[in-house]
């Protein structure tokens, strides 16, 4: 009984030398570079591609290889093509081989956008202004297009002159054929075009979408700033000995130590002004209490502001009494004993 199976194509002729050379070059590139970016070739002009070849030369190489030949080279270099990579390597695509950080490559490509002329259907990236002055266009049918866009013109020295600056397209507005034609005549290229990246083949193992590699710098900056604040708070709480922490902790600890010493009555250069102020305040309070109950002592409470550490402490004078009622006050030993009891 005959088994009917699927016919398998077997090539009998040798591969063309040109294709063999392409595969060999692709194998060499695959071995030299860790990352291969895929970008869309559909609608990409030769000028844009040439510009990026030049600008990305320090970071790697751009190659245009047919997907079939690339898969053959990939199989020879890595022993096979993973399914996710095989699904992406098809259609009109180009390859950028590089060893640079993929996130950095995306940033470089975005920063090296190439200017080109506007085409019908493009979106204006900003307000497009046609400046006043001469153009290289001679009078003819193009004048009607200037008039349709309400651009004031005049003919001078055999050329079309624009009378004043005129906005022909607002940001986000679609470029019409008339606008595209006028911009071409005046030499304005308002559109920035860059390689449309699809993804990157990561070290021959897997395919990574561009969305996974795009880095929002502003967001990461906010995260780092928040992390710095949290780290500083933690370091302050655990008194981690760094220069930034010690600059804050040591003065605070000194203030707390001085306050504690003042409460305990420890006499130092820092605590003495506070101890004297407290003693004077307590003495005045005591004098006010005693004066009301023992007027014969002749005590009076001063309402003058308390002296600071820079001002000498002046004793309070008692009012003069008549010779008959004059009595001797407390001795110096008693005053010293009363002050000592306050500390």
Q: Please, which residues have CB within 8 angstroms of residue 60's CB and are 6 or more apart in sequence?
A: 33, 96, 97, 98, 99, 100, 105
264 alpha carbon, distance to own chain's centre: 51
Record the pTM: 0.57
Tokens at residue 197, please?
A: 């990246």
Lowest mean pLDDT among 107-111, 214-218, 339-343: 339-343
Choice between 289 and 169, residue whose per-residue pLDDT is larger: 169
62 alpha carbon, distance to own chain's centre: 30
Look at residue 319 in the predicted model and tell me its pLDDT.
42
Integer Cα distance of 203 and 30 in angstroms: 9
302 has pLDDT over 90: no
Look at residue 280 in the predicted model and tell me its pLDDT.
86
Choice between 106 and 304, residue whose per-residue pLDDT is larger: 106
Q: Which fold has domain 17-113+194-215?
A: Alpha-Beta Plaits (3.30.70)
Query: 53 with 6: CB under 8 angstroms?
Result: no
Q: Is 287 left (phi over 0), alpha (psi -120 to 50) or beta?
A: alpha
pLDDT tens track for 171-211: 989 999 999 999 988 888 898 888 999 999 999 899 999 98
Q: Please, which residues have CB within 8 angstroms of residue 121's CB and are 6 or more apart in sequence?
A: 174, 175
Query: 88 with 207: CB under 8 angstroms?
Result: yes
2 has pLDDT over 90: no
pLDDT tens track for 27-61: 999 999 999 999 999 988 888 999 999 999 999 99
Q: Please, which residues have CB within 8 angstroms of residue 194's CB and are 6 or more apart in sequence?
A: 52, 109, 110, 112, 113, 114
Q: What residues does each domain of the chain span? A: 17-113+194-215, 122-191, 219-290
Query: 76 with 116: CB under 8 angstroms?
Result: no
Burial of 291 (0-12, 13-18, 19+ CB in 10 A): middle
Residue with tokens 């003819």: 140
Residue 68 confidence class, pLDDT cut points 50, 70, 90: very high
Residue with tokens 């022993």: 79
Residue 214 has φ and ψ, to the nearest 5°, of -65, 130
Q: Does domain 122-191 have CATH number 3.90.105.20?
A: yes
């Amino acid at each position: 009984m005959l088994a009917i199976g699927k016919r398998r194509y077997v090539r009998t002729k040798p591969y063309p030398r040109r294709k063999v050379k392409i595969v060999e070059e692709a194998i060499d590139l695959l071995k030299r570079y860790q990352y291969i970016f895929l970008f869309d070739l559909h609608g990409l002009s030769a000028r844009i591609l040439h510009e990026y070849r030049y600008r990305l030369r320090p970071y790697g190489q751009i190659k245009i290889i047919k997907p079939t030949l690339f898969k053959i080279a990939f199989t020879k270099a890595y022993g096979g093509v993973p399914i996710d990579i095989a699904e992406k390597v098809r259609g009109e695509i180009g390859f950028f081989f590089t060893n640079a950080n993929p996130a950095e490559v995306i940033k470089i490509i975005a920063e090296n956008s190439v200017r080109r002329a506007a085409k019908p259907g493009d979106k204006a990236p900003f307000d497009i202004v046609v400046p006043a002055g001469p153009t290289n266009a001679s009078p003819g049918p193009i004048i009607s297009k200037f008039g349709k866009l309400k651009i004031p013109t005049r003919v001078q020295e055999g050329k079309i002159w624009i009378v004043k600056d005129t906005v022909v397209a607002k940001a986000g507005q679609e470029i019409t054929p008339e606008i595209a034609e006028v911009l071409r005549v005046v030499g304005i290229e308002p559109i920035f075009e860059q390689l449309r990246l699809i993804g990157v083949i990561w070290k021959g193992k897997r395919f990574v979408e561009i969305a996974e590699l795009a880095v929002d710098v502003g967001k990461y900056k906010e995260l780092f700033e928040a992390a710095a604040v949290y780290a500083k708070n933690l370091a302050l709480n655990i008194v981690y000995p760094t220069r930034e922490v010690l600059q804050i902790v040591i003065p605070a600890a000194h203030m707390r130590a001085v306050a504690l010493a003042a409460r305990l009555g420890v006499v130092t250069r820092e605590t003495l002004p506070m101890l004297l102020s407290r003693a004077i305040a307590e003495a005045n309070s005591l004098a006010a209490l005693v004066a009301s109950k023992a007027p014969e002592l002749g005590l009076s409470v001063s309402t003058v502001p308390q002296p600071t550490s820079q001002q000498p402490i002046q004793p309070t004078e008692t009012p003069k009494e008549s010779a008959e009622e004059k009595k001797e006050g407390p001795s110096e030993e008693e005053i010293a004993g009363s002050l000592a009891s306050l500390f």
